[in-house]
Amino acid sequence: MSDVQPIPDGVPERAARIAVHVFWGVARVFSVVALLVAWELLARSGTLTPYQLPAFTSVLARVWSDVTGGDFFINTGLTLYRALAGFAICTVLGVVIGMAMARNRIANWFFDPIVSIGFPMPKIAFLPVVILWLGVYDVSKITIIVIDAIFPVIAATVIGIQGVERELIWSARNMGANNRELLWQIVLPAALPQILTGLQVSLPLCLIVAVVAEMLMGGYGLGGAMITASRFANSVGVFAGIVEIALVGYVLVKGMAILRRRLLIWHQEAHDPSTA
């Protein structure tokens, strides 16, 4: 067994490693590029009408003209404003209600059945009721977003706070922390990973509901623009809308993940490669 070759080190191995790296790098974007090329070819081949599947290049051209014409920024801005306003309300209200439920028996008595029934409900069905009450403008859109997206935040806050280790609370108390300090310095930071998980569920929901509300009520906004395009059988506009909404969604979800890593830099999950 002594004549086993030592593992060669130096240039050839390094080159091989780089080659492997490049190969996987190419493979990583390969499927996306392949999909886009297949889309373009399928559209150009004429098996599908341009109405069913407009060419990717013409969709891109439409997105570009939206961007240069400013429509993109108006619509994206409005959709983002509604989704993020709803998200902000969900965050504050959800954490407050969750905290109240975890620490106060009366709040828990009142909200617990509402959350346990409301969470799994398809609350989007209440959209016509909200329109009936609040009209078709921003207030009703933001309201339905809050109704739909607040439950994950409440539930995550309750679970997070209930899961805070007793020892942490006891030692803080022992060192003379009052209620306020206990809440801000111990309980909330310790529950933060759970709360952020709830927020990460809530944010995409905000965007989904914002788009649906805009589609149903019309007007400006990415969803409204798409539904207008589809009424005029303008399928390039519809596909351009998808590309634009996908962009917004991607940026929001990635941004949230980055924010989580920033906020939880002290937490052990930051060093756990499985969550990266």
Partner 1 sequence: MKALIRYSPLLLIAIAWELSSRLGLVSQLALPPLSDVIRAWFDMLKDGELITNGMASIYRVFAGLALAIAVGIVLGVAMAWWRPVNVLVAPLVEIFYPLPKSALIPVTVIWLGFGDGSKILLIFLGCMLPVTIGAFNGARSSEQVIVWSARSMGASRLRVLWDVVLPSAMPELLNGIRTALALSFILLVSSELIVAQKGFGHLIGSLGANGTYDAMYAVVLTVAFLGFIADRIYLVITKRALAWREQAS
Q: Which positions touch partner 1 (CB under 8 A)? A: 24, 27-32, 35, 51-52, 109-114, 117, 120-129, 131-133, 148, 204, 207-212, 215-216, 222-223, 226-227, 229-230, 235, 238-239, 241-242, 245-246, 249-250, 252-254, 274
Amino acid at 100: A
186 vs 222, which CB is nearer to partner 1?
222
| CA atoms of 121 and 115, how far apart (whole Å) | 10
Smallest distance, partner 1 to C-beta of residue 26, A: 10
171 vs 275, which CB is nearer to partner 1?
275
189 vs 249, which CB is nearer to partner 1?
249
Residue 229 · residue 71 · CB < 8 Å: no
Smallest distance, partner 1 to C-beta of residue 207, A: 4
| CA atoms of 181 and 172, how far apart (whole Å) | 9
Smallest distance, partner 1 to C-beta of residue 182, A: 28
| CA atoms of 83 and 57, how far apart (whole Å) | 29
Smallest distance, partner 1 to C-beta of residue 10, A: 27
User: CA separation (Å) from 47 to 42, 98, 240?
Assistant: 7, 54, 21
Amino acid at 31: S
150 vs 187, which CB is nearer to partner 1?
150
186 vs 205, which CB is nearer to partner 1?
205
User: CA separation (Å) from 237 to 37, 61, 74?
Assistant: 20, 10, 15
Report the candidate in 51, 57, 22 with the shortest Cα–Cα distance to residue 37.
57
1 vs 32, which CB is nearer to partner 1?
32
Smallest distance, partner 1 to C-beta of residue 19, A: 15
Smallest distance, partner 1 to C-beta of residue 14, A: 22
| CA atoms of 120 and 114, how far apart (whole Å) | 11
| CA atoms of 250 and 239, how far apart (whole Å) | 16
Residue 189 · residue 164 · CB < 8 Å: no
| CA atoms of 267 and 40, how far apart (whole Å) | 45
Smallest distance, partner 1 to C-beta of residue 78, A: 15
186 vs 211, which CB is nearer to partner 1?
211
